[in-house]
Amino acid sequence: MVTISAEGKVTDVNTATEQVTGVYRDTLIGSDFADYFTDPDKARAGYQQVFSQSFVTDYPLAIRHLSGKVTDVLYNASLYHDGDGKVLGVFAAARDITERKKAEEIAQAASQYARSLIEASLDPLVTISAEGKVTDVNTATEQVTGVYRDTLIGSDFADYFTDPDKAREGYQRVFSQGFVTDYPLAIRHLSGKVTDVLYNAGLYHDGNGKVLGVFAAARDITERKQIEAELTRSNAELEQFAYAVSHDMRQPLRMVSSYLSLIEKALAGQLNEETQQCIDFAVNGAKRMDAMILSLLDYSRIGRVFVAKTSLSSKASLNEALAFLNPELSACGGKIKVTGDWPELVASRDELTRLLQNLIGNALKYHEENQAPQVDVHGAICAGSLRVEVRDRGIGIDPGQRDRLFKVFSRLQARSRFDGSGVGLALCRKIVEHHGGTIGVESEGEGQGCMFWFELPIVNTVNSA
């Protein structure tokens, strides 16, 4: 604190003034007050301002210590008078703002760093006021719209989309739920070019928590849309190919089987054992080829031609699979025991039923002739997933052969012992992967039975179309 005469001379100081200047009081008193500032002219200008308007508030100056150290301060000053009201000079008090200046510099540096990151982003970034007006953008936004920042700021944010109503709907959704993720929109450039994007947006606030508006970031998905279009085209071609396989390739096989049967009937009683066996081999071979074609068609359709995933009861799918397996169960005299939890989950009902039917059907099938199959099916909720275990007491699996199990046409048993196309487990793996899950098998060896398991997310986000 300091008092200064009308002539600009120091008339009194406190100890804090001695400390900040490094000058004793006796020396300070009578000296020119402006001598102790880094900018004496600015100090004098502030002093004159007090005389012209009677006071100054938060007047910024910097005091220089004799050692050279500089202290940033804000001055509040006013005139003081004698008992008759005569102006004697100025009374001034300074507040050290060194720490505040450091904090401001740090904040400014952080702001510049954040701004650099925003500008460096290849994704369009924008802030929108509570009234729906653009308040800030980055360079990527200018490029995708073809509009300069000065024009964008203050304009209606929805004006730059092909569907303004949908854009406003997404904006309101942010206010109602606090955020949106992967919200699809299309930005129109001044040239007419359209860019498909996915927006992620959330509310932003001031220091007191008041909502100021929305911060939104867009990810260009033009290339992804092109890939999706190409996949759609490719799937259409594959579907046409599958039809050709099912129709054009199976037709000759049916013809071979039919004519062999006609030959067999025409020569009934005239064929020796060896010739009859050759005809049987040919007919069975054509039938196996037809079954393999059908299995390949089923495998190719998983994830490509299917009913959309919906919320369903896993127990209902299990019961449906068991109903389909009733004839096999009756034929082999086996037993199936179901235990555990069977929750609701998001899945394709047809595919889940087929998955369960294949695994339980294999457990009924692969057993010794003199042994009725015993199958335990257990469901459990495990870390947000449905885990299903299908355990049997059948022929088991050589641990060294487990990697071959889930490959197409990979058979571990001779066809003469167990019939099959060699596609069933590969189809199971594909169904599980289509649902974002995992599948595996455990066995202590041949003759020790085995346990097939799979895990599917209860809330499925993979390929959810």
CA distance 278 to 265: 15
Say which residue, 306 or 162, is predicted with more confidence: 162
pTM: 0.43
Backbone angles phi and psi of 415, in degrees to 5: -65, -30
Q: With a cut of 90, say whether residue 168 has pLDDT above it.
A: yes
Domains 2-102 and 121-220 alike in fold: yes
Instruction: Report CA-CA distances (Å) from 39 to 36, 57, 63, 64, 395.
Output: 9, 18, 9, 9, 96
Helices (H) and strands (E) in the chain, counts: 13, 17
C-alpha dihedral sign at 271, 273, 278, 281: positive
Q: Which residues contact 456 (CB under 8 A, 6 or more apart)?
A: 345, 347, 352, 385, 386, 388, 432, 435, 436, 437
Q: How confident is the model at residue 461 (pLDDT cuts 50, 70, 90)?
A: very low
pLDDT in tens, 371-406: 888 899 999 998 889 999 999 988 877 776 666 677
pLDDT for 414: 45
pLDDT (0 to 100) of residue 31: 95
Whether pLDDT at 245 is above 70:
no
| The amino acid at 68 | G
> Which CATH code, of 3.40.50.300, 3.30.465.10, 3.30.565.10, 1.10.620.20, is assigned to 310-457?
3.30.565.10
132, pLDDT greater than 90: yes
268 versus 403: which is more confidently predicted? Answer: 268
Query: Helix or strand or coil: residue 464?
Result: coil
Eight-class DSSP state of 66: T
Domain map (residue ranges) of the chain: 2-102, 121-220, 225-301, 310-457
Residues 355-371 pLDDT 10s: 998 899 888 887 777 78
Determine which of 5-9, 68-72, 157-161, 225-229 has the lowest per-residue pLDDT on average: 225-229
Q: Which fold has domain 2-102?
A: Beta-Lactamase (3.30.450)
Give the C-alpha separation, 79 to 189, whole Å. Answer: 62
List C-alpha distances in Å: 101 to 93, 98, 106, 125, 434: 18, 5, 9, 30, 58
Q: What percent of the chain has pLDDT over 90?
A: 46
Q: What are phi and psi of 228, to 5 degrees?
A: -60, -40
The mean pLDDT of 295-324, rounded to a whole number, is: 76
For 23-79, how does the pLDDT look when each residue is reduced to its tens digit (9 = 90+)? 999 999 999 999 999 999 999 999 999 999 999 999 999 999 999 999 999 999 999
What tens digit of pLDDT does each residue of 398-437 get?
Answer: 776 666 677 654 555 444 444 555 567 888 888 888 888 9
Give the three-class secondary structure for 250.
helix
Rg (CA), the chain: 42
**The architecture CATH gives domain 121-220:** 2-Layer Sandwich (3.30)
Nearest partner of 8 among 64, 51, 53, judged by Cα: 51
The dotted CATH code for 225-301 is: 1.10.287
Mean pLDDT of the chain: 85
Cα distance between residue 389 and residue 427, in whole Å: 17
